[in-house]
Amino acid sequence: MSVNSSYERFFDVPIGPQHPALKEPLFLKLVVEGEHVVAADVDVSYTHRGVEKAMQERNYIQNIYLAERICGICNVAHTLCYCQNVEGLYDVEVPSRALYIRVLVEELARIHSHLLWLGVAAHEIGFDTLFMYVWRDRERVMDLIEEITGNRVTSAINTIGGVRRDIRPETFDRCLKAMDYVEERTKYYKKVCKTDPTIAARCAGVGILKPNDAVRLCAVGPTLRASNVKYDVRADDPYAVHDEVPFNVVVYDTNDAFGRILVRIDEIFESINMVRYCVKHMPTGPVRVRLRLNPPAGEHVSRVEAPRGELIHYVKSNGSEKPERYKVRTPTFENLPALCEMLTSKGNYVVNIADVPVVFASIDPCLSCTSRVAVLDSEKETVWIGRLEGLKRLKR
Amino acid sequence: MREEDVVLKLKEAFGDKVSDFKTAPRRIFFYTPPEHYKEVVKFLVEKLGFVHLQAMTSIDLGKDLEVMPHLGRGLTVSVRTRVPKDKPVVDSIVDVIPSASFHEREVHDMLGVEFKGNLNLKRILLPEDWPEGVHPLRRESQITFPKPIRGGEK
C-alpha cells in the first residue's frame, strides 16, 4: 500500500562538526527514516594539520617530536613507530633494556588510554559517576608515566636508537604498587560494566559489526577484536620485545559496543601483566645507541599496535637529513568504513539516532590522528605550514 | 606463509609482470606496471589471503607518481606501481577491497591520482573550498611560511 502524503520519507540529519554529543570535530551526515539511521557518511577533514608535508621539511630528530604531536593520547605509539622506522633505515640493533623500557611505557600508555576511553564511553551513555571514578584512577598511571618519562602526556621517551631516559630502581616498586591498585580498580569496573543495567541497555546490541564485515572492511584494534577476529600487531608482527613478553590477544564474540568495552577492560589486565613482566625481567645495560644524523637511503614500513588499533608508518629516505616521504596511517582512519557500516540499519538491525554517539565512541575515535596533513593561502594557491622560526618570531 | 613463498608464488603466477623484489623480515616490496596492478592485487587478496589493506602510500617521484598499497596482517606486502604525472590514472581496487575507497580518496586529495572505477572520489581530508588541481603532497606545492603579525603594520 502506498501512502500519498506531503512529507518526505527520508531526511538528512547533519551532526557536527561542533556538537554537544561529539567530543571531536566529526561531521556525520545521516539519512534517517523516522528514528532509524539508514545511511551514514563521514567527513573527517576538520582537524587537518599537514603533518606529512611538515615532516618532509624537518630533519629526523625534529620529526620525533612532530610525530609525537600527531596524537596526544597515543603519542608513545607514534614515536615508537617513527623510531622503529628510522632505525630500520640504519639497520641498527637497539639495546634490549631500551626495548623493555619502550614496551613498559607503551603498555602504561595503553592502560591510560583505555581507562580514558572507558570514562568517555561512560559519559556518552550518561553514566557520569563511572566517568569520574575511572578518570581519578587513571591519574595513578599518569603519575607513573610522569615519573618514568618526565612528562604526563607527551612523554618524549623514545628516540632514534633507544630511549632518552633510564628508569631508576626505586621507580619499579612504585610501578608495581600502582599496577596492583589499577588492577583492583579495573576488576571493580569490569564488575560494574557487566552488571549495570544502564550500560547493558545502551551498549548491548548497539553498533553491530559482524566478523566477516569487520574483515572485509579492514577494521583494526579493539573494534576488530570485539568482532571475534584474533588480530593484534603485537602478536602477528612482533616489534620491540613483544615476542618475549607474554600476553593473550583478547577477543569477544558479542560484535557490539558492549563487547568493545569488555575487550578494552581485559586488555588493561593484559597490559598490567606485561608491565609487571617488564619490571621483573628488565635487563641491564645501555639504553641508547648513538647514530649519525643522516640515515642511508632506503625505505621502511613500521607497524605498532596503538591503543586504538594497528598504526602504520612508512618512510622513504634519499640519504639527506630530511625524509623524502613520510606516510602515517592511523587506526581511526582504518575504522571509518566499519563505522559507516555500524551506523547503517539493515534487516532486523536498527540504529536509532540516540545510539549514534555510543556507536561513534565505541571505535575510540581520534580525529586529530585521522586528518593529519595543510593550511591554504587561496590567493597564491600555495600551502603553508608553520615552522619553528616563524613561531618564535610570532612569540616576540 | 614465509616471505620467499609469497615471492615464489607471485613470480610463478605473473612471470615478468612483477619485478624489483625487495624483502626484509615480514616485509615484501615489489613493482608491477599499472596495467597489471589490479590483477596482482586481486591475486594477493583472493588466492594468497592478504585481505587486510593496511595503508596506501603515494609518493611524488618527479616525473611519476607512485601508488603503493600495503596488504596483509602478519606479512606486509607492498605492491608499487607508477603512473606518469601528466596522466595519473590507475585502476581502482575498490571492488576487490571495499575499504580501499577511503585510501584512494586520500591519495586523490593529496597527489591527484585518478582511480578508474572508484565512483566516490570526493574530498576526504582537504576542505571543501580547496582549489581544484592543487595537491599538497606534490613537489610543486610550495610551502609559504606565515608572516609575523605585528601591531601597526599593514
Helix (H, G, I), strand (E, B) or coil at B136: coil
Distance, CA of A63 to CA of A51 (rounded, Å): 10
Question: Is position B118 within any domain?
Answer: no
Distance, CA of A155 to CA of A68 (rounded, Å): 8
Question: Is position A359 within any domain?
Answer: no
Helix (H, G, I), strand (E, B) or coil at B3: helix
Question: What's the pLDDT score for residue A24?
Answer: 79
What is the domain range of residue B69? Answer: 3-86
Q: Which three cell numbers stand for residue B122?
A: 570526493
- CATH code of the domain covering residue A78: 1.10.645.10
Q: Which three cell numbers stand for residue A180?
A: 596492583
Query: Please, are residues B101 and B93 in contact by the beta-carbon 8 Å criterion?
Result: no
Min CA distance, B31 vs chain A (Å)?
Answer: 14
Average the pLDDT over B137-148 and give the result.
80
DSSP state of B15: G
From the number of C-beta atoms within 10 Å of its C-beta (0-12, 13-18, 19+), residue A345 rates as middle
Question: Is position B140 within any domain?
Answer: no
Min CA distance, B13 vs chain A (Å)?
Answer: 24
The pLDDT > 90 percentage for chain A reads 67
Can you list the pairs that A273-276 forms with residues at least 24 positions away whose Cβ atoms lie under 8 Å? Answer: A273/A246, A273/A247, A274/A103, A274/A107, A274/A245, A274/A246, A274/A247, A275/A104, A275/A107, A275/A108, A275/A111, A275/A175, A275/A179, A276/A176, A276/A179
Residues from chain A contacting residue B134 (CB–CB below 8 Å):
376, 381, 383
Q: Using 50, 70 and 90 to split pLDDT, how confident is the model at A64?
A: very high
Kindly report the three-state secondary structure assignment for every residue of chain A: CCCCCCCCCCEEEEECCCCCCCCCCCEEEEEEECCEEEEEEEECHHHCCCHHHHHCCCCHHHHHHHHHCCCCCCHHHHHHHHHHHHHHHHCCCCCHHHHHHHHHHHHHHHHHHHHHHHHHHHHHCCCHHHHHHHHHHHHHHHHHHHHHHCCCCCCCCEECCEECCCCCHHHHHHHHHHHHHHHHHHHHHHHHHHHCHHHHHHHCCCCCCCHHHHHHCCCCHHHHHCCCCCCCHHHHCCCCCCCCCCCCCCCCCCCCHHHHHHHHHHHHHHHHHHHHHHHHCCCCCCCECCCCCCCCCEEEEEEEEECCEEEEEEEEECCCCCCCEEEEECHHHHHHHHHHHHCCCECCECCEHHHHHHHHHHCCCCHHHHCCCCEEECCCCEEECCCHHHHHHHHC
Query: Please, are residues A381 and B131 in contact by the beta-carbon 8 Å criterion?
Result: yes
Residue A379 has pLDDT above 90, yes or no: no
**B70, B102, B124 member nearest A45 (Cβ):** B124
Cα R_g (chain A), whole angstroms: 22
* Chain B from 1 to 30: CB within 8 A of any A CB: 24, 26-27, 29
Question: What's the pLDDT score for residue A371?
Answer: 63
Question: What's the pLDDT score for residue A376?
Answer: 37
Q: What is the pTM of this model?
A: 0.90
Distance, CA of A264 to CA of A114 (rounded, Å): 6
Question: Is position B102 within any domain?
Answer: no
DSSP state of B69: E
Rounded to the nearest integer, the mean pLDDT of chain A is 88
Overall number of domains in chain A:
1
Nearest CA in chain A to B111: A53
Q: Picking from A4-13, A273-282, A338-347, which range would have the lowest pLDDT averaged per residue? A: A4-13
Residue B68 pairs in a beta bridge with B57
Residues from chain A contacting residue B78 (CB–CB below 8 Å):
301
Residue A59 has pLDDT above 70, yes or no: yes
> How many CB contacts within 8 angstroms connect chain A with chain B?
127
Question: Is position A24 within any domain?
Answer: no
Question: Is position B120 within any domain?
Answer: no
Distance, CA of A192 to CA of A199 (rounded, Å): 9
- CATH code of the domain covering residue B11: 3.30.460.80
Q: Using 50, 70 and 90 to split pLDDT, how confident is the model at A347?
A: confident
Q: Using 50, 70 and 90 to split pLDDT, how confident is the model at B152?
A: low
Average the pLDDT over A189-208 and give the result.
92
Query: Please, are residues B81 and B87 in contact by the beta-carbon 8 Å criterion?
Result: no
| pLDDT single digits (tens) A91-141 | 899 999 999 999 999 999 999 999 999 999 898 888 999 999 999 999 999
Average the pLDDT over B83-102 and give the result.
93
Average the pLDDT over A345-363 and give the result.
88
Residues from chain A contacting residue B29 (CB–CB below 8 Å):
299
Query: Please, are residues B112 and B88 in contact by the beta-carbon 8 Å criterion?
Result: yes
Cα R_g (chain B), whole angstroms: 18
Question: What's the pLDDT score for residue B154?
Answer: 55
| pLDDT single digits (tens) A199-251 | 999 899 999 999 999 999 999 999 999 999 999 999 999 998 999 999 999 99
Q: Using 50, 70 and 90 to split pLDDT, how confident is the model at B151?
A: confident
Q: Using 50, 70 and 90 to split pLDDT, how confident is the model at A384?
A: very low
**A314, A374, A387 member nearest B136 (Cβ):** A374
Q: Picking from A42-56, A134-148, B28-42, B73-87, which range would have the lowest pLDDT averaged per residue? A: A42-56
Q: Which three cell numbers stand for residue A263?
A: 575487550
* Chain B from 29 to 68: CB within 8 A of any A CB: 29, 51-60
| pLDDT single digits (tens) A315-335 | 999 999 999 999 999 999 999
Overall number of domains in chain B:
1
Contact B144 A50 (CB under 8 A): no
Residues from chain B contacting residue A45 (CB–CB below 8 Å):
123-127
CA angle B91, B94, B96 (to 5 degrees): 95
**Nearest-CA neighbor of B41 among B117, B112, B122?**
B117
Question: What's the pLDDT score for residue A268?
Answer: 96
Question: Is position B70 within any domain?
Answer: yes
Residue A309 pairs in a beta bridge with A306
Q: Using 50, 70 and 90 to split pLDDT, how confident is the model at A389?
A: very low
| pLDDT single digits (tens) A2-54 | 455 556 788 898 987 888 777 778 888 999 988 899 999 888 888 888 889 88
Average the pLDDT over A382-392 and give the result.
42
- Most A-contacting residue of B137, B140, B147 (CB-CB within 10 A), to test interface: B137
- Which residue reads 582549489 in cell numbers? B131
Q: Picking from A321-325, B104-108, B120-124, which range would have the lowest pLDDT averaged per residue? A: B120-124
Determine the distance from the C-alpha atom of residue A81 to the mean position of all C-alpha atoms in its chain, rounded to a whole number: 13
Question: What's the pLDDT score for residue A126?
Answer: 86
DSSP B21-68: EEEETTEEEEE--HHHHHHHHHHHHHTS----EEEEEEEE-SSEEEEE
From the number of C-beta atoms within 10 Å of its C-beta (0-12, 13-18, 19+), residue A50 rates as buried
Nearest CA in chain A to B46: A216
DSSP state of B2: -
Nearest CA in chain B to A45: B125
What is the domain range of residue A74? Answer: 49-333
Is the minimum CB–CB distance between B138 and chain A shorter than 8 Å? no
Distance, CA of A367 to CA of A110 (rounded, Å): 18
Q: Using 50, 70 and 90 to split pLDDT, how confident is the model at A184?
A: very high
